[in-house]
Amino acid sequence: MTALWIMRVLLSHWMRHRMQLATLLIGLMSATALWSGVQAINQQARTSYDRAASAFGGGNTAMLLPGDDVTVPQSLFATLRRAGWLVSPVLEGRVRIGERSVRLIGIEPLSLPRDAGPAPGLSDAKLLQGFLSPGGQTLIAPRTAADFGWRADQVLTTESGERLPPLQLAPDLLPDLLVADIGFAQTILRQPDRISRFLIDPAPGGERLPLAQVAGSQLRLVEAGSESDLQRLTASFHLNLTAFGLLSFLVGLFIVHSAIGLAFEQRLPMLRTLRACGVSASRLVSVLLAELVMLALIAGVAGLACGYLIASALLPDVAASLRGLYGAAVPGQLVIQPQWWIAGLAMCVAGSLVAAAGALVRVLRLPLLVSAQPYAWQLSQRRWLIGQALLATAILIAALAAFRFGTSLLTAFAVLAGALLGAALLLPVLLNVMLRTGEAMSRGPVALWAWADSRQQLSGLSLALMALLLALAVNVGVGTMVGSFSKTFLRWLDGRLAADIYLVVPDPNRAAGIEAWLRQRPDIDAVLPAARADVRIGGEPVELFGLADHATYRDLWPLLEARANVWDGVRDGRSVLVSEQLGRRLGIKLGDRVRLPTPSGDWIAEVGGLYADYGNPKGQITVNTDQLLQRFVAAGRTRFGLRVKSGAIPEVMRELESTFGLGRRDLADQATVKAESQRIFNRTFAVTSVLNAFTLGVAGVALFTSLLTLGQSRLPQLAPLWALGVTRRRLAVLELCKTMLLALMTALLALPLGIGVAWCLIEVVNVKAFGWRLPLEIFPGELARLLLVAMAAALVATLLPMLKLGRMRPVALLKVFADER
């Protein structure tokens, strides 16, 4: 009962200070919304990866995977079963049907382990019979069939002319997936007698021979619960999103901290009275805690609702980025799990408690008989600034140590976080120095007051200014990084997409005819055959990419470093070129020797060069096309780049289409491929831009709410000036100028910090996350634009409190001089 009464007394404060209550709730809501929105997207994507990985082998099932190659001979199946290994074969690949590329999985249903992922609808005996019938069936999820415009019993034909068994709808199946009997799959994928992996049945069997004895190095065991390739490849992408969500959360907590701090100051007499009336410190703190948790839960639920809306709005872009970058199928529609709600609320409550910790400790230590010292700001500010400077120095030293000794992506983010936090803590110290300088140089009394008063205001506004600094620095940093990446990417595209037309003909016989036709044409300067094959090196999936020996590549290929006469070595098969990220991941340096597993034995070559391969999550090694085709006969001479005489591109494209019936999916001109690459690039960073804007918006709200809440407590400073003859309008203009000056100083300090953030992202985070390093480019126009945006945000945030002051009734100012104050 006593606690309820105390709670009622405490809540009465919020009833009288509704704007402050709104500030607190807005802060908590913004923090929770952005954090939970990002988490919802991550959760959705991870769930999709888990499902994809567990489809007939992956996270849930132990597997045997090929050692060096991509597939293994089917004969191993019988060998393994005879050796006591209860395995089931799976073949996987992609087929083109019409304009779509779909994942096809071939299974052997009778030996399939029970826990091998989502039931493909084969638990029903009737369905199993249909699946195993001579004509077979192709299972597809109803949603996928509807999306693609296919219907049950339809017979699909692949691009290469193979017919799939009739479609059968299987409700539990994953999206974007076709499942057929492995026999059909081997024919359709043109992989006769080949197996992608063996799933191991966990059912206890008899003794089994050691794997090495059965299959040598052809197979390796992957235990259940291992991270999938997709999870590993996309980890950096999600870590980036999480970092953004966390930053937004922290910026939101700045608002909460500021609102709680102010409420504490204003409630100080009330708390003293309660203590004087016999309420123990522990009781008071527990009721304050209960009040805080209650407010956090209310704001948390609203924040989660906003987070859901944010996630729903961003998910299509994220899904498109993940599909474009990693080929990951993430549904564009959000499915929320109960854990998300619980985690979001827990984060909101925990954040509020952290933000309020200082105020709560002060309540515990509240001296009853000491009166308030309203003007002891000079001394306390000096102590506060020294404390901030010391803490900032300690954090910056820790960040430096993480930079010097850290090796992982997490330490890279720790460097970034430490640099940002240290700089934010140092901000009031630097502003104080700048304001002191201004004060020393000022002439008029009002200007002197404005500088000195700005210094006094620092402690009240510092959190909002720190939030603005962080948001701006991250905006500048990410903007500079994206700009640098974009510029580098365009230059790189010019090198990578050097041919004028790209042509893919899946049938090698048909391709030979087309190549002969192309070589006779006078308007074609060069026909550059290319090829590709997949291998594994050090357990990593690696793409071997074949290039023709031609001046086009010798002149334009984006080499970062190379040995002398590297292209001659590549032509002869003595040298290979390694992509920057693969080199970094496997620790391969120029001059090292690499072993490439091929069907005809190991190919050992020297690393003659390292080249940029931006945006490719997989490792890539570039070799000569002829050398590749000699060793990977099945790869086929099916891809061509064409150098065409100026102005002849449309004509050649038209004739290729009309003469050979090639469509847009087989044929693309350089401009189209570049435009598509740029579109994927832009979409990838669309989410970043939105989160950037949100973070800046939250910082604007932080500044606005701080100014609004400070408005009332500023009256004792402003009223004497009014009484001494400074008009309300002039006071309002002065206040506006002072806040804009502080915002300008903060924004100017944010620019070098932002460039530091960009450097950190490019030199530390990107290198650790993706394996590539970019040249840092500064864009003065973009910096000026951000500066203007920041000043506009500050102006909007300042305007309302200033208008309130300008229009304040004299009676409000007179209250300052009332005896009973």
Partner 1 sequence: MLKVSRLSKSYGLPQGTLSVLREVNLQVAAGESVALTGESGSGKSTLLHLIAGLDEPDSGEIVLDGKAMSGASEGDRAQMRREKLGLVFQQFNLIPSLKVGDNLSFQARIAGKLDFAWLSELAGRLGLADMLDRYPEQLSGGQQQRVAIGRALAVKPSLVLADEPTGNLDEATADEVVRLARELVARSGCALLMVTHSTRLASLLDRRVHLTAGQLT
Binding site for partner 1 (CB under 8 A): 373, 375-379, 444-446, 448-449, 452-453, 455-456, 716-717, 719-728, 810-811, 813-814, 816-819, 821
CB 565 within 8 A of CB 575: no
How far apart are alpha carbons 113 and 364 in whole angstroms? 61
CA-closest candidate to residue 706, choices 522, 458, 409: 458
What's the min distance (Å) between Cβ of 816 and partner 1? 7
Query: Alpha-carbon distance 575 to 569, whole Å?
Result: 5
Structure tokens at 133: 């019938």
Q: How many CB atoms lie within 10 A of CB 96?
A: 15
Q: Mark residue 71 as left, alpha or beta (left: phi above 0; alpha: psi -120 to 50; beta: remaining).
A: beta
Distance CA 762, CA 3 (A): 54
Closest to partner 1 by CB, 350 or 723: 723
DSSP annotation of 95: E
Dmax (CA) for the chain in angstroms is: 103
CB of 253 to partner 1, least distance (A): 29
**Residue nearer to partner 1 on the CB measure, 282 or 378:** 378
Question: What's the rounded Cα separation, in Å, for the pair 156 and 418?
Answer: 56
Q: How far apart are CA 782 and CA 441, in angstroms?
A: 32
Q: Smaller CB distance to partner 1: residue 373 or 646?
A: 373
- Least separation in angstroms between CB 441 and partner 1: 14
DSSP symbol at 634: G
Amino acid at 756: G
First to last CA, the chain: 33
To partner 1, the closest distance from the beta carbon of 444 in angstroms equals 7
If the CB atoms of residues 92 and 735 are measured against partner 1, the closer one turns out to be 735
Minimum distance from residue 383 beta carbon to partner 1 (Å): 13
Contact 258, 356 (CB under 8 A): no
> Which CB sits closer to partner 1, 78 or 440?
440
Exposure letters 18-30 (e unless 16+ CB within 10 A, then b): eebbebbbbbbbb
Instruction: Name which of 439 and 540 has its Cβ closer to partner 1.
Output: 439
Nearest CA among 757, 740, 759, 115 for reference residue 421? 757
Shorter beta-carbon distance to partner 1: residue 207 or 819: 819
| Least gap, CB of 437 to partner 1 (angstroms) | 15
- In contact, 358 and 262? CB cutoff 8 Å: no
Q: Is the CB of residue 720 less than 8 Å from the CB of residue 821?
A: no
Residue 543 CA neighbour count, 13 Å, CB half:
14
> Shortest distance, CB of residue 820 to partner 1, whole angstroms?
9
Nearer to partner 1, 189 or 742 (CB): 742
Closer residue to partner 1 (CB): 648 or 719: 719
Nearer to partner 1, 84 or 810 (CB): 810
Closest to partner 1 by CB, 127 or 715: 715
Beta pairing partners, 601: 598
Please state the closest distance from residue 438 (CB atom) to partner 1, in A. 13
Q: What's the closest the beta carbon of residue 433 comes to partner 1, in angstroms? A: 16
Instruction: Return the number of the residue (461 or 481) whose C-beta is nearest partner 1.
Output: 461
Output DSSP code: residue 157: B
Residue number, 371 or 646, with CB nearest to partner 1: 371
Q: In the bound complex, what is the minimum distance in angstroms from residue 263's beta carbon to partner 1?
A: 22
Torsion of CA 287, 289, 292, 293, to 10 degrees: -110
CB of 434 to partner 1, least distance (A): 15
- Specify the residue for token string 């701006």: 472
Q: What are phi and psi of 504, to 5 degrees?
A: -125, 120
Closest CB to partner 1 among residues 573, 716:
716
Contact 780, 751 (CB under 8 A): no
CB of 458 to partner 1, least distance (A): 10
Least distance in angstroms from the C-beta of 813 to partner 1: 7
Residues 6 or more apart in contact with residue 597 via CB below 8 angstroms: 67, 68, 69, 535, 536, 537, 603
Q: How far is the CB of 395 from partner 1 (least distance, A)?
A: 29
DSSP 209-251: --HHHHHTTSEEEE-TTPPPHHHHHHHHHHHHHHHHHHHHHHH
Q: E-strand spans in 568-700? A: 575-579, 593-598, 601-611, 619-624, 639-644, 667-669
